[in-house]
Structure 1
């Protein structure tokens, strides 16, 4: 099977490409460096010709509200148009759990817009909504810093390892389109502030983590269930402690 992975050289993309190639599929790791650009449309028509599946893992270089919305809308429109012309049979997109529950978060709003374009395209699709990656815990802590204090919401948090995300993306890619959403998360759920405190302790970071119900996550307030699946979800296998051991090794 010919599979195109947009963002195929990124954190999740590179892992997904490796898994699919190991299973014997013809996989194109698409990125601007390889001459395939979903924003300009360069190389898209040629890349998707003969492809059965396209996986969209593209990510905006800017998190500014207007820029991220423009990125996902332009990228999705170009990609979906190329897929429709080529007769692609399955569009797989990686999204985020809770994007429709935190409207103050501009990045989340942009992902909602992306999902709406996919749904309206008429191309058979599966949207994989994931919780936050464990690999981003350091960046999340940095964004929550207030001097030597890290202020984090006590809302529930269920991060997932990138290896698990890639494994599930690869698996979903090889199944029939859902015509809807699959939610995925890590195996462990705990208050957001406790997860960040465990991460910092393991990293040898002495800063104090303060439980702050008013703390924002990239602009959005975090309620108890804002960032975790509300119903059935596929769970990864790698727990936080195991991931911390692996990352330190």
Structure 2
């Protein structure tokens, strides 16, 4: 199968490698390869002959400008897909994204999903929980030399490699015409996960529970955790963290 992966960051680069390992003909597309989703430049060439497109791009900002970014880029990608005869459009989104309207970026991702659902091509939406790899920057937003401040937001984080495995399965199957949630096997509160991470690193700073701290302060309840029917990934955060620290 010929598959075009749009985006070459943490997920896109792993996904391209995995799909190639499964024997698929993979094209990667990003600004560095001359493909600009905002203008449409290079899209026709990147999608030529593709059966499936997997969109794992991200907005360059997390503010209200992300709404315009997704409105434009999804439109350009769907139009180019029609011209190329693409049979399946896949997008990576976020578990609970439609439950946090206070966050500009989450509202933008909801728009991305809506445009895909209303588009002309059969589709699949894969919603993932927070990646293990994002725990460090999440703590960095609200930390200083003396403490780390985090809210007690319930999360069920997942390894990026497990998200890639789910995306590869979805991309090479029939379109879902709906949403698949993907999450890790263990549930934590964000402050609890911060304490676990700092202890493993030998960082003696305390984690102060502060429900006004950081991006996740806007989240209410357990909306970022998966519901029934989610695909639960096999990798546990403690195992992943120990391996990362050992490497």
* Equivalent residue number for residue 204 of structure 1: 202
Q: 1:220 to 1:88 in 2, by over 3 A?
A: farther
Q: Does 1:12 align with 2:11?
A: yes
Residue pairs, 1:1-249, within 5 angstroms: 1-7=1-7, 9-63=8-62, 65-145=63-143, 148-212=146-210, 214-218=211-215, 220-248=217-245, 249=247
Contact 1:216–1:222, Cα closer than 8 Å, also in 2: no
Counterpart-to-counterpart distance in 2, 1:99 and 1:118: 15
Give the aligned CA root-mean-square deviation in angstroms: 1.5
Counterpart-to-counterpart distance in 1, 2:203 and 2:60: 28
What SS does the corresponding residue of 2:93 show, helix, strand or coil? strand
Q: 1:106 to 1:146 in 2, by over 3 A?
A: farther
Contact 1:105–1:219, Cα closer than 8 Å, also in 2: no
Contact 1:155–1:226, Cα closer than 8 Å, also in 2: no
Unaligned runs of 5+ in 1: none
Q: Which piece of structure 1 moves more, 65-74 or 126-135?
A: 65-74
- Post-superposition offset of 1:155: 2.6
TM-score (norm 2): 0.95
- Post-superposition offset of 1:220: 4.7
- Post-superposition offset of 1:164: 0.6
Counterpart-to-counterpart distance in 2, 1:92 and 1:205: 40
Counterpart-to-counterpart distance in 2, 1:109 and 1:199: 30
- Post-superposition offset of 1:30: 0.8
- Post-superposition offset of 1:209: 1.0
TM-score (norm 1): 0.94
Counterpart-to-counterpart distance in 2, 1:90 and 1:205: 46
Count of equivalent residues: 246
Unaligned runs of 5+ in 2: none
* CA displacement 1:91-114 (0-9 Å, x = unmatched): 110000111111111110110010
Contact 2:52–2:90, Cα closer than 8 Å, also in 1: yes
What SS does the corresponding residue of 1:100 show, helix, strand or coil? helix
